[in-house]
Amino acid sequence: MRNYTSIPSAFFETVQNMPQSPAYRYRNNNDEKVTITYKKLYDKVNAIAKAFEVKGLAQKHVAIFSENRIEWFVSDMALLALGSADVPRGIDSTSDELNYIIEHSEAQAVLVENKYVFEKIKKHHKDLSLIVLLDSSMHDPENNIYAFDKFEELGEEHLKGDEEFAIKKAAKLTNESTATIIYTSGTTGKPKGVILTHGNILHNVRVLPDIIKLKAGEKLLTILPIWHIYERTISYVTAIIGCFTAITNKRYLKNDFTEEKPDIFISVPAIWVNIYNTVMKNIDRKNAFLKKFLKFIINRSISYIRSVRYQNNLVYLLGDEKREDKKAEYSIGMFDPIFHKMAKKMVYSKIMELTGGKIRLTISGGGALPMYIEDFVEAVGINLVVGWGITETSPVVTLRSPYKNYRGTCGAPIPEVKIEIRDKDGNSCKDGVMGVCWIKGPNIFKEYYKDPELTAQAKIDDFFNSGDLGTYTQEGEIVLTGRAKETIVLLTGENVEPQPIENKAMESSYISQIMLVGQDKASTGAIVVINKENIKYHFDKEKIAYDEKNLASSKEVYKLIREELDRLINYKNGFRPYEAIAKIIITDEEFTIENGLLTQSLKIKRANVTEAYKDKIEALYEKKL
């Protein structure tokens, strides 16, 4: 793909090359499916760009607080064409957070999805030159409140037939022009405003299609929040390549899989974990013999595909490891191929049907994917690749190749990106030795908005400190183990990386969420959020009496969770003795965005959880082991 000077200019060229090709399918405000061509999509962008200019918002900061909808893409592309920087956020953010973003970013206008979000930012109504409701549920132009459809009409009136207005505006932009300011919640502190340029994002747009062999006309199904840089960059990639994107949500995902029959599905780990848990829950409800048999053939099937992986030289090696040393871990039983075929017929075929039956690739990002999920999805027959990146890197830094897929890694650095693994003193680590990943490339963000000190700390000699812990494999792939700031140091001096332990614990169908604790304590502990539905089903089936009102505090639940953690976190599964979870706090109150314990990208805010459970953690460690 050739170099472009701006995101909209690249998109507009696609419009000119394939005007009548379908660009998006989405549900309108009446929940009816609508298909829009590239030309009609551009016409909307052109009109909205003109409306923004009429309102004096060219080259200004404009906030967008909304989830996925076609109006988001249209507004974003229109603002980009004008040289404006949009400031996006999801609607689940608290009122305080949204208002902080408006104030800190100096946004002069706000686009909100609906009245619910409008109420959250209402106190800034008189400060803003414009508020647009993307669902067109309010229209009061005298008070600078516009319904999106009326705002589009305003733009059309002032265009006076100028079909190239947005094209001409975008032609004035360069790679150095600011495209967006994205506020990252992070797991601590106030949100930071990450400034990304057109050039930052266009780097990903330029190199990703070749890695995954993306072609014009392929259909994508997307469910992820478009305000998040992962989904947003993917939306640019697909629009510029000329793909056909279907927008879905949790409510319609199952139906849209079968109706749209996508070639590519953009996902996060939680989606595949939910699919796996649903399959296992359905199996658990079979009669005793069938339940045992299905779990047996799935286990043998997974053992088989892991062994095939080894035979195809797709098992990564760290440091001085030798392939021959791993041979014992990957032996194929005589009947494993048969069990695999049985599992495909009895279990996996139904999953393939539910996902439309045509998926050639699913890309998972936004968080670590547990290895048991990797194994399961591969056994099903879906080619899943994982990438790694963060907002500051626009976002993709590494991506696995679908054609050389080293499971358990994040893939190799993408073209033009360099990653150095450094120890705490800043020295380069040997391959196979864990350290902090420092990243250099054209995708690295420009700066933190109004925070030169923080920018200087994060970017040194053109390298960005990601804060992620990882190492290179012998094959040149990156393996991540967690965040440097999340490492728990016990009183004994041992370092515990929470992520691998938490991922393993999540294999239990009785655990909904988990966060490790134990900083400066004698042993590792955990806060466990239980899966009430699965536990009650288990107790009912096993005829175990329990108090439903006080489930989380019951002895029966403690015993069950204790057994599950001991079964999963042990030496046999590759964990050291000090990594075993010695103490647990059990709760049925989930970590959510609303209660401030999850970020907008569904990562645990460890500092917030630690503060919320501070007294319970202290009390936990006052007891004897």
Using one digit for the tens of pLDDT, what is the confidence trace for 15-45? 999 999 999 999 999 999 999 999 999 999 9
pLDDT, position 187: 47
Domain boundary pick from 146, 173, 200? 173
Helix count and strand count (H, E) for the chain: 21, 27
Write the CATH number for 534.
3.30.300.30
Q: Is 55 inside a domain boundary?
A: yes
List pLDDT tens digits, range 191-223. 899 999 999 999 999 999 999 999 999 999 999
* Residue predicted with more confidence, 552 or 366: 552
Last residue of a domain, one of 173, 203, 227: 173
Mean pLDDT across the stretch 310-322?
A: 95
With respect to residue 360, please indicate whether it lies within any of the assigned structural domains: no
| Residues near 189 by beta carbon (within 8 Å), at least 6 away in sequence | 607
Averaged pLDDT for residues 239-268:
95
Mean pLDDT (the chain) is 94
Percent of the chain with pLDDT over 70: 99
Is residue 166 one of the residues assigned to a domain? yes
What whole-number percentage of the chain has pLDDT above 90? 84
Provide the 8-state DSSP code for 561: H
Domain containing residue 139: CATH number = 3.40.50.980
Q: Where are the alpha helices (DSSP H) in 160-197?
A: 165-170
Quote the number of domains for the chain.
Answer: 2
Cα torsion 602, 608, 613, 614 to 10°: value is 160
The C-alpha atoms of residue 494 and residue 579 are separated, in whole angstroms, by 9
Q: Binning pLDDT at 50, 70 and 90, where does residue 625 land?
A: very low
Give the torsion through C-alpha atoms of 558, 559, 561, 567, to 10 deg: 160
Within a domain: 95:
yes
Evaluate whether residue 28 is within a structural domain.
Answer: yes
Size of the chain in residues: 625
pLDDT tens by residue, 468-497:
999 999 999 999 988 888 889 888 788 898
More confident residue, 268 or 10: 10
Listed residues 144, 173, 202: the one ending a domain:
173
User: Distance (Å, rounded) from C-alpha 469 to C-alpha 422?
Assistant: 9
Domain annotation covers residue 249: no
**pLDDT value, residue 351:** 95
Asked if residue 90 belongs to a domain, the reply is yes
* Over residues 323-344, mean pLDDT: 92
Greatest CA separation found in the chain?
78
The residue among 597, 594, 449 whose CA lies nearest residue 63 is: 449
* Statement: the pTM of the whole predicted model exceeds 0.85: yes
For residue 93, what are the domain limits? 7-11+21-173
pLDDT of 189 reads: 62
